[in-house]
Amino acid sequence: MINRRALVLFPGALGDFVCFLPVLDHLAKRWSIDLLARTEFSELVPGRVKVKPLERFEIRHLFVSGGGSNEQVRSLFETYDCTYSWMGSRDLTFKQELEAATQGRLRLFPFQPTDSKMHQVDYYLSCVEVESVPRMPYIPLMPDAEQSAEVYWRENSLNTNPVLAIAPGSGSHGKNWPVVSFEAMARWWRERVGGSVVVILGPVEEERGGYESLCSHGIEIAGIGLGRLAATIARCSLYIGNDSGLSHIAAALGVPTAAIFGPSDVNHWAPRGETVLVLRRELHCSPCAVSAMKNCPHHDCLTALTSAEVIRQLECWPPLLTLTRGGAGIRVSAEISPDLMGG
């Protein structure tokens, strides 16, 4: 039984967090872990980890001089044998106050490596000096989430055909492949593979809108928790998405994952998994910094990658040569209809 307790501070978004899972799993074998992060991540963590909100008084107060001596702040940290933090390393006040609050029982790391070519999974593992552990994230599926996905599959008659999951969004609009290109992929899947399509929309996509035409090609999935969403993606025959957190989830689940990359660095951010195909149109200016991505006048790294090119790559990809679901073998056609080559 593990009696030692550790507190982990992690400020990242969904994709960052999936890359962090191997470290979290490693730490949870040595400590009883309380993780301060986005609470929605609780549906993706090992059972030995408790997730609590990072947005709280004790953390905000560490950015104030003298905050580490506050009684409420100290009472939080004094119950742990060690604190691991991947936030605040560049803020001198935060560093000093966190050191004071933890009474030196602290390991503080930058959020990202100085070597931009180092994959984020490898970087996180290097922080805790781990060499001999799996370097592909693993996401445990909860029984209730799997049962919910099974019911959803039956209700929408998805059990008989191979299912394509399309996630057209990401954390930044500048990383998104054109929606019309995703529409072409949906048409290809339905017409050439004979399969069904589910379109996954996050809160940003729901608010922004503009996905009505894409959703008309399949079933829209929105507004469900990450656990149920992961269980739903796990049942799909193929996932296609941008450089996004959902792409990292799909890859970690072992689903054949086609990740569309534009301005992001593949070496640093490619989803880790057993069956991943990264598709991109590399230009002289790629990859680029976030500031350049936001101010890019052309986004050619994304718009110049056509759906026809992606289809050609997928139809030569071994995981898709023969799809099986429900015992029925389905051969993907090697032909590309002229009406699928736009986008």
What b-and-e string marks burial along 259-282, b requiring 16 or more CB atoms within 10 Å of the CB?
Answer: bbbbbbbbebbbbbbebbbbebbe
Output the six-digit token pair for 192.
């050439």
Average pLDDT over all residues of the chain: 88
Q: What is the CATH number of domain 143-340?
A: 3.40.50.2000
Three-class SS state of 270:
coil
The DSSP element (H or E) to which 16 belongs, if any, is helix 14-28
- The domains of the chain are located at 5-127, 143-340
Q: Name the pLDDT band for 178 (thresholds 50, 70, 90).
A: very high
**Neighbouring C-alpha atoms within 13 Å toward the C-beta of 210:** 11
Q: Between 193 and 240, name the one with better pLDDT.
A: 240
CA distance 176 to 158: 27
CATH of 5-127, one of 1.10.3470, 3.40.50, 3.30.70, 3.40.720: 3.40.50
Enumerate the β-bridge partners of residue 241: 167, 259
Tell me whether the CATH fold assigned to 5-127 matches the one assigned to 143-340: yes
Q: Between 119 and 290, name the one with better pLDDT.
A: 119
> Is residue 82 a contact partner of residue 104, using CB atoms and an 8 Å limit?
no
**pTM of this structure:** 0.91
pLDDT at residue number 302: 82
